[in-house]
A and B are shown apart, each in its own frame.
Chain A
Amino acid sequence: MTHNIYLDNNATTPMDPAVFEAMRPYFVEMYGNAASRSHSFGWDAEKAVETARQHIADLLGCGPKEIVFTSGATESDNIAIKGAVEMLAKKGRHVITAVTEHKAVLDTCKYLESTGRADVTYLEVDKFGRVSVEQVAAAMRDDTILVTLMAANNEIGTIHPVAEIGALCRERGIWFHSDATQAIGKLPFDVDALKVDIASLSGHKIYGPKGVGALYVRRRNPRVRLTPVIHGGGHERGMRSGTLNVPGIVGLGEACRLAKERLAIDTEHCRGLRDRFEQKILGALDHVALNGHPEHRLPNTANLSFAFVEGESMIMGIPGVAVSSGSACTSASLEPSYVLRALGVGDDMAHSSIRFSMGRFTTEAEVDEAAVEVIGAVQRLREMSPLYELALEGVDLSTIEWDAAEKH
């Protein structure tokens, strides 16, 4: 099955050729270890790493010494949460997060709970997937040491009120970590404006390489120190030991340089395509629901539920378009998306959801073709859907006592 149109940029992005070109010399020719102080191989590598660090700092509005390189956002989230909980163990043990966070955050929190090292409050979200600053304030306790909330959600694109939550945390003297993986390159993300103390980001979501990411760790007001997860040679101010992935870091740096330079262009490009796509779909089909916030939403993301049509069969019906679904059937778990469930979207609509995420390299022609395919597939599948038939007959599906087979 060949997918020609890639609308899954929230899963990963194609690497920008400029990023690839920037990385190229650092594999075969300039292979030095950035920690080697005794020869030019090492100095060249270190110089490249420091240039990259500066590019990332420029994007986030911070100092280069506040950037720690990691293997990606999952590792960044682990260091941020485990590192803060351990570092502040004498001060408190309470962490606040939300039910729609990425598994890298949720599973880390659950691990800390299960080992008795933290109490965690998982905030519920509203029907658009948002938490409010009031909710965060109400959850704070005397022993709260960390609030960890993503800037924007990967599945639905909903953006939390990060600046307000940052201001609250600063006022209360509580560290604020934000997983900015999806926000970077799609929204302005200035750590001072947002009052974020720790932030995670990943290379491959911003047209950079996989296997590299970064953690922003504030150095003053407040000075954040994190107990390392990986011990070793004391690289990265002791917060993340391990020989630096020089080509990856160079790629991440170049990706961040481009993200800063192109932020307005990329944002408008994606928003234009996303809105065009949504209008085409909503103009041609009824019973389509938007999952996520209509306004406070990533400009590239459209998560739509096509009622009466199951997500995996939808994906089969648009073989030329690469997308992802919140349906259980695309995962091994057979559980529909926990993010959509948290919004109160019924399981039936979660099974009917498809995420379309545009990117820098998506074209108008691709979006138009994808819309035609989607509309055709939905119409065809509704023709063979018993639920659509019942709905057309005026039967309220919620009144039916379904034979929820015990095999499920």
Chain B
Amino acid sequence: MAYSDKVLDHYNNPRNVGKLDNADKTVGTGIVGAPECGDVMKLQIKVSDDGVIEDAKFKTFGCGSAIASSSLATEWVKGKTVEQALEIRNTDIVEELSLPPVKIHCSVLAEDAIRAALSDYRSKQGTPGAALTDAPAPSGSEG
């Protein structure tokens, strides 16, 4: 399979690999996917007092396109407000990375990861109606 230059770039030089302190109330963590499916993405955001995502980190188990999608997602959410980050769509990721149809699920997962992280952040903040997605963060993870 031929990868686009952008996928290769993110794979070879992933942005924002790492972790943030999940005990911090300004940090939201989203873990989506499943090992059995061959993709697990963990995306974390740290939100400043004025509601801007000031940092983002990811770790991904998955193919090159999954790694690239999550790397791109961290790049894109940084500097955005929570509301702006919610507007990121998987189709934007598909377009940016020139993902082939068989890899669209990687972009879907990245969008899910962003939403899960934002949802976790909002519930930590006690924001009413916090649930942004149906998918709860996997239990047992991150203590």
Contacts and interface: CB of A to CB of B under 8 A. Distances in A.
A193 B108 CA distance: 56
B63 A348 contact: no
Contact of A386 (B11, B38, B40, B63): B40
A408 B61 contact: no
A408 B37 contact: yes
30 contacts: A310-B61, A310-B62, A310-B66, A316-B8, A330-B1, A332-B102, A336-B38, A346-B35, A347-B35, A348-B35, A351-B35, A384-B58, A384-B59, A384-B60, A385-B61, A386-B40, A386-B41, A387-B61, A389-B42, A397-B35, A400-B138, A400-B139, A402-B36, A403-B32, A403-B33, A403-B138, A405-B33, A405-B108, A405-B135, A408-B34
A383 interface: yes
B40 A387 contact: yes
Interface in B1-45: 1, 3, 8, 11, 14, 17, 19, 31-42
Interface of B: 1, 3, 8, 11, 14, 17, 19, 31-42, 58-64, 66-67, 102, 105, 108-109, 112, 116, 135-141, 143
A171 interface: no
Contacts of A405: 32-34, 37, 105, 108-109, 112, 135
Interface of A: 308-313, 316, 327-330, 332, 334, 336, 346-348, 351, 383-390, 393, 395, 397, 399-405, 407-408
B20 to A, nearest CB: 12
Contacts, number: 117
A320 to B, nearest CB: 14
A8 to B, nearest CB: 15
A328 B34 contact: no
A351 B59 contact: no
Contacts of A401: 138-140
Contacts of A328: 38
Contact of B31 (A348, A388, A403): A403
Given A310-B66, A385-B60, A403-B136, 18 more contacts: A311-B38, A312-B63, A312-B64, A328-B38, A329-B38, A330-B1, A346-B36, A384-B14, A384-B17, A384-B59, A395-B140, A402-B35, A403-B33, A403-B112, A404-B34, A404-B37, A405-B32, A407-B109
